[in-house]
Structure formats: structure tokens, C-alpha cells
Amino acid sequence: MKLVLTLILSTLIVLDCHTPQAQKHEEYVAKDPLAYVLDKAKTNDIVFLGTRHKDPQILGFIANLLSEMKDCYIGLEIASDQQDKIDQYFKNRTDLQNIHLHYAINCPEYRNLLATLRELSEKNRLTAIALDLPTSLYNRNTCRDEWMAQSIKRVFDRNRGSKVLVIIGVHHALKAIEWEDSVKAKPGTIRTYLNNIKPGLEAFSICFSDPNDDFSKNFRDLNIPLAVDCNGLFSNWKLSVLDSAAAKPMKAYELVDGIIVW
């Protein structure tokens, strides 16, 4: 089975797509998701991995990914005031339950990501960075994405040539968002803030396809996880990530660089 999967994902896959938005009979280079993210981490300064919160399958995939990563910082959607507790946990001085997680991400599978990192050998151990805005600052009109961009900037300020994998909710991982004109406060994404405060970094945004996306619908028949670069071949394909936001319609490749279809 593993050999068959490898052969499928290492060749050009020809699909007859079924949704009205899809381009039919196109050729798409599909890759194994684990190898795909590892490759992007090698060739970019930052990889943003946009997830669906509390999804056991996705979190299981990320745990396996962390076991394969090397020489990389791991940025997590955990409030930055928890950094000391994370550091103490990795030094085996405190319990995992002492680390406070926001209710949106708090689940056994997410905590297992921290446990997975601690179990790595010192040679391969990755440094976990708590990126997010502390809840005590939520009422001060501080933008979470701008705060997280500043947290990432500090990593590169301290350690030139670093590699960072950012595991974050999908909206935070987007390349950009074009808000409707009626929206008064138009916050950026982490990437747009980073472009201003730390220009020159090579970044790559990957998200997991939602079941309602054209990507999930059109690759469904393969019945295997796969990853593709989100380029002009998919110019008419829809991502549903902004359906509930007051944002202007955007092409999939304007939002992300890569897609994982689970």
C-alpha cells in the first residue's frame, strides 16, 4: 500500500473535475503531505501551517510532522505569557497541564504536540515558541496577528538564518485578506505585518482543505491525503475559508501557497 501511494503521489495525476468552478482534464503534481511540508520548511524561512482547530486527524499528522522536523523553531497559537511554563515543561520541571491553552485549541491532541516535542532527543529537539496575544490584553484593541508577527520577528532578530514552522488557525496563516469597504478596522494577517516589520523573509502558507472546498471535492476520488502547490492552475477553484468573513472574493492562490487535502 505504501509503495502504491508513493507511486501515485510522485507522478502527474490527471483528473476529471466535477464542480462548475473546476478546470477539467488538468494535470496536477500531487505530493505526500508530510514530505511536502518538510520540503517547504527547507526552502523557506517560515512555513505557516493553517489548521482546523481540534481536528484529531490534522493534529495527529502534525505530531508525526514534528517528529521528522530538524533545526527549526515551532511557533504555536499559545499566549506568549505561557512561554516560561513551556520552557519549564521541557526541562521536566512542571506538568503539561500547567500550560494554559485557549479553549479554542485546548484538547488532548493539541497537548500531545508539546509532549511529542519533549520526547525528541536533545539532538533533534525543536524549540517551542508561544506566539499569541495574552488574554489579559484582549480588551486593549491589540491585533493578535500583529502581536504574533512581532513574536516571530524576535526569533529572527535573535537568531539569523532560523527556520520557523508556525502552527496556527487557518485565518491567521493566510497571505492576505482584502476586507469589504464597509469594514472600518481592516487588520492584516501575520504575513502582511511581517512584510512590513521584517522584510525579506521567505514565507510559505499552507492550509488544510475544508470538505466544502473545490480541492476536497475534486481530489475526493483518490481517497488518499495529498498536497499541491496552489498556483494558477487552480485560479477558478474556491476556498471556503473566507465565506463567513466580511472580505472581498479572492483567488485561492491569493490566499495560500499550498493545500493539503486530507
Whole-number average pLDDT of the chain: 88
Distances (CA, A) of 146 to 11, 22, 244: 40, 35, 21
131's grid cell? 506566539
Among residues of the chain, what percentage have pLDDT more than 90? 69
CA dihedral of residues 201, 204, 127, 137 (deg, nearest 10): 80
pLDDT of residue 223: 86
Model confidence band, residue 10 (pLDDT cutoffs 50, 70, 90) = very low
- Specify the pLDDT at position 25: 32
**Residue 102 vs residues 5, 80, 97: alpha-carbon distances, Å:** 37, 12, 13
β-pair type (26-29, 12-15): antiparallel
- pLDDT the model gives residue 4: 41
pLDDT digits (tens, 9 = 90+) for 56-100: 999 999 999 999 998 899 999 999 999 999 999 998 888 999 999
User: Phi/psi zone of residue 122: left (φ > 0), alpha (ψ -120 to 50 degrees), beta?
Assistant: alpha
Residue 9 confidence class, pLDDT cut points 50, 70, 90? very low
Residue type, 181: D
Q: Which residue, 180, 204, 159, 235, is CA-closest to 50?
A: 204
- Indicate whether 232 pLDDT > 90: no
In terms of CATH architecture, what is 33-209+242-261? 3-Layer(aba) Sandwich (3.40)
pLDDT at residue 158 tops 60: yes
Taking Cα atoms as reference points, which of 120, 198, 113, 114 lies closest to residue 159? 198
Q: Residue 258 pairs with which residues in a beta bridge?
A: 206, 229
Number of H helices, E strands in the chain: 10, 9
Query: Given pLDDT bands bounded at 50, 70 and 90, which one contains residue 142?
Result: confident
Percent residues over pLDDT 70 in the chain: 89
User: 1 pLDDT band (50/70/90 cuts)?
Assistant: very low
Q: How far apart are CA 214 and CA 17, in angstroms?
A: 9
Per the DSSP assignment, residues forming a β-bridge with 227 are 31, 260
Reported as half-sphere exposure (CB side, CA atoms, 13 A), residue 152 has a value of 36
Residue range 33-46: mean pLDDT, rounded: 97
Q: Does residue 170 have a pLDDT over 90?
A: yes
pLDDT higher than threshold 60 for residue 244:
yes
Q: Report, as an integer, the average pLDDT of 132-141.
A: 90
Give mean pLDDT, residues 13-40. Answer: 65
Residue 182: what pLDDT? 92
C-alpha cell at 242: 473566507
The domains of the chain are located at: 33-209+242-261
Question: CA 1, CA 220: separation in Å to the nearest integer?
Answer: 18
Residue 23 in this model has a pLDDT that exceeds 70: no
The pLDDT value recorded for residue 27 is 56
Q: Is the pLDDT of residue 14 over 70?
A: no
Query: Tens digits of per-residue pLDDT, 172-229?
Result: 999 999 999 999 888 999 999 999 999 999 999 999 999 989 999 998 888 889 999 9
User: Is the separation of the CB atoms in 164 and 211 below 8 Å?
Assistant: no
